[in-house]
Amino acid sequence: MRNFLIAGNWKMNCGISATNKLLNGIKEITTSLPDGVDGLVCPPSISLQTAADVLEDIEGMTLGAQNVHFEDNGAYTGEISTQMLNEVGSEYVILGHSERREYFGETDKIVNAKVLKSLEDGLKTVICVGESLKERKADEHKLRVRKQVQAALTGVEDGDATNVVIAYEPIWAIGTGETATPDQAQEMHKMIRSVLEGVFNQESASKIQILYGGSMKPHNAEELLQQPDVDGGLIGGASLKADSFTEIIDIAKQLV
């Protein structure tokens, strides 16, 4: 079956020294992840090399970036390329986070271009989707998320399914302390899995990890991770402390 993936999205937190401190704190608690649980940390770009160095001593925990450009190189001030991520040892890249969509104007089309480029260049993609509170209240959440998943995966081949991870992150739950209930999460993850079955063959779709993100904390992780289609978490705030992040890893371990 699918491994759990416990992923930390550090957002715009942790420069080089804070990255060193946080990852060494994690290393003091665990130097190897349990069977059935994959770990991932996604620091800001400037801290990727520092993180890569410490992660050499933490077995089963890999490195990811928070964004990438869809061109190879060139006049794109402030951007980084897939080749740069490969060089620093980043295995994953988060794409289409709602904060990038909202504050940096990323459209479904841009997200799709980034997904295709990342997969072509050997990166695993964590594709974020999720509805706003307004959309949920208007009962448009399923339609919205379905469209986001389909748009992001347009043109992705079956053979690339193993490099795709989806993160369902309802915008109203991000950084608010308000979490989707386990039933709400399961309902959406199941729907996403059915969309994936329309894009890929059934076997490939069944292997794709679907993470939940939005105020996942040690106190609510168990009930969320117990859901059959919740295969891990994309964690913001609680991934910035070694003890809460490793606590969630321990919770996943007990559910394997």
Ligand X SMILES: O=C(CO)COP(=O)(O)O
What residues make contact with ligand X under the rule CB under 6 A? 9, 97, 169, 174-175, 213-216, 234-238
What letters, b where the CB count within 10 A reaches 16 and e where it falls short, cover 66-81? bbbbbeeeeeeeeebb
117 labelled binding-site residue:
no
60 labelled binding-site residue:
no
Instruction: Round to whole Å and give the CA distance between 19 and 13.
Output: 9
236 labelled binding-site residue:
yes
Instruction: Round to whole Å and give the CA distance between 181 and 178.
Output: 9
20 labelled binding-site residue:
no
Instruction: Round to whole Å and give the CA distance between 177 and 231.
Output: 21
Given 99, 131, 135, 169, which residue is catalytic? 169
Question: What is the smallest separation between the CB atom of 158 and ligand X, expressed in angstroms?
Answer: 27
Write the CA distances from 29 to 66, 80, 157, 233, integer angstroms: 25, 32, 39, 19
Comparing CB distances to ligand X, the nearer of 132 and 206 is 132
Residue 97 appears among annotated catalytic residues:
yes
Question: What is the smallest separation between the CB atom of 97 and ligand X, expressed in angstroms?
Answer: 6
9 labelled binding-site residue:
yes
Question: What is the smallest separation between the CB atom of 198 and ligand X, expressed in angstroms?
Answer: 25
Question: What is the smallest separation between the CB atom of 219 and ligand X, expressed in angstroms?
Answer: 13
Q: Which ranges of the chain does DSSP label H, i.e. alpha helix?
A: 16-29, 48-55, 82-88, 98-103, 108-120, 133-137, 141-152, 182-199, 202-207, 218-225, 242-255
With tokens 């998320």, the residue in question is 145
State which residue has the least CB distance to ligand X: 236
Instruction: Retrieve residue 90's tokens.
Output: 């980043």
Given 69, 97, 141, 189, which residue is catalytic? 97
Comparing CB distances to ligand X, the nearer of 95 and 200 is 95
Whose CA is closest to 163, among 211, 97, 109, 209?
209
Comparing CB distances to ligand X, the nearer of 48 and 234 is 234
Residue 169 appears among annotated catalytic residues:
yes
Comparing CB distances to ligand X, the nearer of 155 and 175 is 175
Known binding residues for substrate? 9-11, 175, 215, 236-237
Which residues form the catalytic set? 97, 169
